[in-house]
Amino acid sequence: MKVSQRGLVEMNLDAQYKYVIIGNSAAGIGCVEGIRKVDKEGSIAVISEEKMHTYSRCLTSYYIAGVVDDEKILFRPKDYYAKKNVTPILGKKVVKILPEDNHIVLDDGTRIGYSSLMIATGASPVIYDIPGNNKPGVFVLRTYEDARRISEAAAPGKRAVVMGGGLVGLKAADALHAKGVEVWVIVTSPQIMSQTMDRDGAEILRKQLEENGIKVMTETNVEEIIGNKKVEAVRLSTGQTLTCDIVIFAKGVRPNIGLAKDAGIDTDYGILVDTHMRTSVPNIYAAGDVAEAKDFITGERYIHAIWPNAVEQGCIAGQNMAGRDVEYAGGIAMNSVDLFGLASIAVGFTRPRGKDHGYEIISRSIPEKKFYRKIVLKDGVIVGAICIGEVEAAGVFAGLIKRRANVSKIKELLLREDFDYAKVLGEGLIKDTSYFATA
């Protein structure tokens, strides 16, 4: 869709770009690079509420721990926008999308026109409605600013309560521990990592945390954050009170769909997109943590809120915005975390409800080596895998999932500690090795 100079004046716009991208993280940058694969010259504006140059959100816990600094956390070099001929509009919030007029409105009233629009607004942490949730000392961990504030508050001798035992909560706990903070992880579920890990795997990780000084309490809730002018303690559902200086909410996120919903774009839990990452409005696309896109295994729409999926979705959307015809094959879940030197990766569908749905589960545990592996199969094809301890094979399992390779005749090999790509080749399961060559 093209807007003429005359049309720009008639709509009283302050600026006009061929491509406007709302969001400056994985999906937004993926979109820039997708567009530039096809269109080297078209004007691009990237708009973000954050003032920070694009950075790697998945490194924020490492920033708290002091492992990365302001330079190493950057996702792309500081001259990135100039080299890509992109106009960054940072520190500004988009408050309205007007699809019928092809323009957006910023919080300072600026009106910006577009030919194609990308919504990559991501997700926001959930802060539960409990007494004291707005006291100084209460944090979430999502952005660079969140990480910077937590880092400033964390110091040896302080005490922290992390609410939530998922990936963000455990990485936050690990980072605080590295800063000399005494840490409790409070989990509502019977286990940590309840969304991605089975009970056996979760128990290995829990022991790893506890052996290294992080206390974990499951089937417990924080019911109140106590303190006069700042956080001083939390009251638990068990009746206990824990003295602490820092509380971190890490109990999940919600997609930021408000802009899309108000604009009349179809949404459910996230923004609904087709395999071209196109929304219900033909020249508006969405990608990343806000987009409900095709799941590779089930074919249904799902949000896999992980960095590589967001980059890939953004890149595909960008190419389509620029006129190429590219389809998204679908995403698969993949979560990894390293806790005190013990690595774990969960990929694909790892928690089926049982044999009633035709799933076959094989597993092996070697407790003295902290080795655990679980493979979920359906009709001889891997649909999910958990690797703890020896995680090098996880990439091979991901490749086999993507190739839908039938592994029936090598099932016993999958659980070996030394299982690798060579054994896949040796059995002749894969003829086309391109995925493995680039994975």
d(CA 167, CA 204): 15
Q: Per-residue pLDDT averaged across 66-84, rounded?
A: 96
Span 398-402, average pLDDT: 90
- CB 260 within 8 Å of CB 122: no
- What is the pLDDT confidence band of residue 437, given thresholds at 50, 70 and 90? very low
**Axis crossing angle, helix 167-178 with helix 199-211, rounded to the nearest 10:** 10
Sequence-ordered list of residues with C-beta below 8 angstroms from that of 180, at least 6 positions apart, any chain: 154, 155, 156, 157, 158
Q: Reply yes or no on whether the pLDDT at 34 is more than 90.
A: yes
Cite the beta strand spans of 287-391 per DSSP E.
291-294, 301-302, 334-339, 342-348, 359-366, 371-378, 381-388
pLDDT in tens, 174-203: 999 999 999 999 999 999 999 888 899 999
Which residues face 48 on adjacent strands?
Answer: 90
Please count the residues of the chain: 439
Residue 94: left (phi > 0), alpha (psi -120 to 50), or beta?
A: beta
pLDDT at position 357? 74
User: Is pLDDT at 216 greater than 90 in this prediction?
Assistant: yes
Tokens representing 300 are 């249904």
Query: Which of the following is catalytic: 58, 244, 315, 387?
Result: 58
Backbone angles phi, psi at 249, to 5 degrees: -80, 120
- The pLDDT of residue 422 is 75
Neighbours of 250 (CB within 10 A): 26
| Across 301-313, average pLDDT | 93
Q: Is 212's pLDDT higher than 90?
A: yes
**pLDDT level of residue 134 (50, 70, 90 thresholds):** very high
5 pLDDT above the threshold of 50: no
**What is the CB-side half-sphere exposure of residue 335 using CA atoms within 13 A?**
16
244 is catalytic: no
Reduce the DSSP state of residue 305 to 3 states and report it.
Answer: coil
Mean pLDDT of 320-344: 94
Question: Across all residues in the chain, what is the average pLDDT?
Answer: 92
Residue 9 has pLDDT above 90, yes or no: no
Report how far apart, in Å, the C-alpha atoms of 299 and of each of 92, 272, 329, 396 are.
Answer: 36, 14, 9, 22
How does DSSP assign 336-353, residue by residue?
EEEETTEEEEEEE-----
pLDDT at 369 over 70: yes
Per the listing, tokens 């709302």 go with: 22
pLDDT at residue number 251: 92
- Return d(Cα 137, Cα 282) in angstroms, integer: 44
- The whole-angstrom separation of Cα 352 and Cα 415 is 19
Query: What pLDDT was estimated at residue 55?
Result: 97
